[in-house]
């Protein structure tokens, strides 16, 4: 594979919105095992929340998908495949990304908690910045009254 072709494939994989409109493959081979990916994702997604017993299964599936994605990406990145094979691998990586996106969006409660943590961290950073910018150690107004 030519260098420009390799870069083109890597750019395609890393493009924002690469998964838009991509359908999940019926099945995919991961770590030498055939997985009915589409039925697994739809089975899990149709539930409002993930039951406790299924959480481990979903987390294991996400780990396996990430590992397989990394291995496939490395094959392209290390120029170990032909351009034609690289195109197939790139398409499979994008399909894996689509499945990962679907699985990551399953538990809105966890997403809200993460958003709350991020907002609190942002507020704390902003307050520290203001303290430094204003030359105050405390914003309470107890130090250096004018």
User: What are residue 29's phi and psi, to 5 degrees?
Assistant: -95, 120
Are 71 and 121 in the same domain?
Answer: no
Range of the domain at 115: 107-146
User: Got the DSSP string for 2-53?
Assistant: -HHHHHHHHHHHHSTTTTTTPPPPS-EEETTEEE-HHHHHHHHHTSSS--HH
Are 63 and 118 in the same domain?
Answer: no
What's the pLDDT score for residue 68? Answer: 93
Are 24 and 74 in the same domain?
Answer: yes
Are 65 and 25 in the same domain?
Answer: yes
Are 59 and 18 in the same domain?
Answer: yes
Going by the DSSP 8-state scheme, the letter that residue 102 receives in this structure is: H
Are 140 and 121 in the same domain?
Answer: yes
Are 112 and 101 in the same domain?
Answer: no
What's the pLDDT score for residue 146? Answer: 47
Which residues face 17 on adjacent strands?
none
**Cα dihedral sign, 125-131-137-140:** negative
Are 20 and 68 in the same domain?
Answer: yes
What's the pLDDT score for residue 75? Answer: 95
Are 59 and 117 in the same domain?
Answer: no
pLDDT in tens, the chain (146 residues): 899 999 999 999 998 888 888 888 888 888 788 888 888 888 877 776 677 777 888 888 889 999 999 999 999 999 999 999 999 999 999 999 988 888 887 755 555 666 777 888 889 888 888 888 888 655 455 554 44
Q: HSE-up of 24 (CA within 13 Å, CB side)?
A: 18
Q: Count of domains in the chain?
A: 2
């Amino acid at each position: 594979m030519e260098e420009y072709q390799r870069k083109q494939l890597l750019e395609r994989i890393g493009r924002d919105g690469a998964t838009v409109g991509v359908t999940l493959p019926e099945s995919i081979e991961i770590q030498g095992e055939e997985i009915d990916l589409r039925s697994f994702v739809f089975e899990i997604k149709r539930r409002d929340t993930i039951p406790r017993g299924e959480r481990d299964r979903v987390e294991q599936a996400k780990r396996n998908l990430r590992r397989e994605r990394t291995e496939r990406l490395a094959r392209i990145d290390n120029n170990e495949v032909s351009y034609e094979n690289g195109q197939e691998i790139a398409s499979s990586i994008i399909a894996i990304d689509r499945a990962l996106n679907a699985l990551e969006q399953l538990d809105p409660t966890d997403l809200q908690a993460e958003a709350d943590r991020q907002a609190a961290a942002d507020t704390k950073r902003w307050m520290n910045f203001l303290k430094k910018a204003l030359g105050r150690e405390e914003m309470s107004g107890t130090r250096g009254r004018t």
